[in-house]
Chain A
Amino acid sequence: EDQVTQSPEALRLQEGESSSLNCSYTVSGLRGLFWYRQDPGKGPEFLFTLYSAGEEKEKERLKATLTKKESFLHITAPKPEDSATYLCAVQVRSNDYKLSFGAGTTVTVRA
């Protein structure tokens, strides 16, 4: 069975204090790994898709990387507006439509 584990569950950062979130996965035949941001009371907002080990993608202060066993979301010099829950999800080749999500990491950035 596909498993996605995110750590830590919660992360409190000072503004400007860079950090990383981890998403480790166990799947058969990874098609893609997805990162989403979710604000309270809102639906998940798409950030990145990574398809192969070694791939990296960046957007503003966020950078996502992928290995064969895990993905990292690096937040560089975060601002309070980066406070949110970050979800990762995997998709396998045999079901190239279903997303299997981790429980998320809730990031709080203090000014």
Chain B
Amino acid sequence: GAGVSQTPSNKVTEKGKYVELRCDPISGHTALYWYRQSLGQGPEFLIYFQGTGAADDSGLPNDRFFAVRPEGSVSTLKIQRTERGDSAVYLCASSLGAGEYNEQFFGPGTRLTVL
């Protein structure tokens, strides 16, 4: 079956611009996660959705970052006033739920470059 998909695969933007990154989870997965991965590092947690609500957004670095999941499926990560330090690969993952069934399956990522 189809895995997690993310669009775009690459995004180049200028400092100060607004960007949106999209994630389509595996069908039937109620839990969705965003992580950020810098070069040579493991992914870092940003936010977790259970259904439509953000259950934990403690990993978002500051208020320029915001994510939504209005219908409990597709999610969008929004970054305002981008900075060069935001350059990284943004990974989305989904799982059947949290707890016992929470093996997380990752998408291919969106590589964001802020010039």
For A46, the chain B residues whose CB sits under 8 A away are: 103-106
Q: Does B45 count as interface, using CB distance less than 8 angstroms?
A: yes
Contact of B33 among A36, A96, A97 (CB under 8 A): A97
Q: Does A99 count as interface, using CB distance less than 8 angstroms?
A: yes
Q: Please, what's the 1-or-0 string for B78-112, where 1 marks a CB less than 8 Å from any CB in chain A?
A: 00000000000001010100110011111111000
Contact of A99 among B4, B41, B43 (CB under 8 A): B43
For B109, the chain A residues whose CB sits under 8 A away are: 42-43
Q: Does A33 count as interface, using CB distance less than 8 angstroms?
A: no
Are A99 and B104 closer than 8 Å at their CB atoms? yes
Are A44 and B43 closer than 8 Å at their CB atoms? yes
Closest to B43 in A: A101
Are A103 and B103 closer than 8 Å at their CB atoms? no
Are B56 and A98 closer than 8 Å at their CB atoms? yes
Q: Does B31 count as interface, using CB distance less than 8 angstroms?
A: yes
**Given A98-B48, A101-B42, A44:B99 Cβ within 8 A:** no
Are B43 and A97 closer than 8 Å at their CB atoms? no
Q: Which residues of B contact A (CB under 8 A)?
A: 4, 31, 33, 35, 40-45, 48, 50, 55-56, 59, 91, 93, 95, 98-99, 102-109
Question: Can you list 17 pairs linking A and B with CB atoms under 8 Å apart?
Answer: A41-B108, A42-B109, A43-B4, A43-B107, A43-B108, A44-B91, A87-B43, A89-B42, A97-B31, A97-B48, A97-B56, A97-B95, A97-B99, A98-B59, A99-B43, A99-B45, A103-B42
